[in-house]
Copies of this chain bind each other. A is one copy, B any other.
Amino acid sequence: MQTDLKTAMADMAADVERAILHLLPTTDLPESRVLEAMRYGCLNGGKRLRPFLVCQSAALFGVNPDCALRVAVAVEFVHSYSLVHDDLPAMDDGDLRRGQPTVHRKFDEATAILAGDGLLTYAFEVLADPATHEDPNVRCQLVAALAKAAGPHGMVGGQMLDLIAEHETFDLGTTTRLQRMKTGDMIAFSCEAGGILGKAPPPQRLALRAYAHDLGLAFQIVDDLLDIEGTEAETGKSVGRDAEAGKSTFVSILGQDRARSQAAMLAVQAKAHLEIFDGRADILKAVADFVVARRT
């Protein structure tokens, strides 16, 4: 299954990159510089985990793959914008992202701010377009759910907490909320998007939500472990930054051993939520194992 998963994720990553190029054409006009920076910010060879979750959850309900791909790209635009802004000197001050110069290092800081703004804005234009789904009610639900997952009560709120974590020590409850907001809510949206697109009945939506919740936490615990155990060559980004900044993470609170077993337990639990789909969600189950086993 892990080989199948790797092939499926690689195929999807190629589809996502083609769709990004198609949706972000550049021109000879001078303002096209911001489009180039937007492209650069989302064509960096990432794993495309979130787009994969969108497309796989949509496939459970027989959604047109072209429609799912548009939502997948919108999610990747929002994820990429968050990385571009997070890397800015006033935020995490990152020079490298997946081994390449970050957007503000490649272009400049002002262009990076605008490129992030442009990616975020364009994501909503893509979702609201009739090409994404024939039913405007579905499109509105997608817009509302993505905005909620990315906004001040989701990702942006999580990043705010993350900044505060540099000066304050958080307990396990606040650290869990931080991570749910910062990465969990966007992972949850990626899984729920398939259910919205496929007009899935409530029990199936709830199952996807529960799966995404456990998957997101497991993902973040492994991220924290890699920040300690990984190398820059493996992760393609600076490591050891959380400890350096004195941030509370799952690993600083639980210790490495308990954190690792917690991640493994969450993966088991995530897979159990998918039993409702019989064998049709095997690839999403494999994603849970992949997320816990990953080294990058």
Contacts and interface: CB of A to CB of B under 8 A. Distances in A.
A147 B164 contact: no
| A interface, over-half SS | helix
A34 B116 CA distance: 18
A4 B163 CA distance: 47
B136 A121 contact: no
Interface stretch (A123-131, A242-250, A268-276): A123-131
Contacts of A122: 147, 151-152
B90 A156 contact: no
Contacts of A163: 110-111, 114
Nearest to A33: B160
A118 interface: yes
A150 interface: yes
Nearest to A154: B121
Among A118, A121, A124, A156: residue with most chain B CB under 10 A = A121
Contacts of A116: 117
A111 B160 contact: yes
Interface string A17-39: 00000000000001101110010
Given A31-B157, A164-B33, A150 B121 contact: yes
Contacts of A108: 90
A88 B104 CA distance: 14
A32 to B, nearest CB: 8
A150 B34 CA distance: 13
Interface string A192-236: 000000000000000000000000000000000000000000000
A120 interface: yes
Shortest Cβ-Cβ A-B pairs, 7 listed: A125-B147, A90-B109, A128-B144, A128-B143, A34-B160, A121-B151, A118-B152
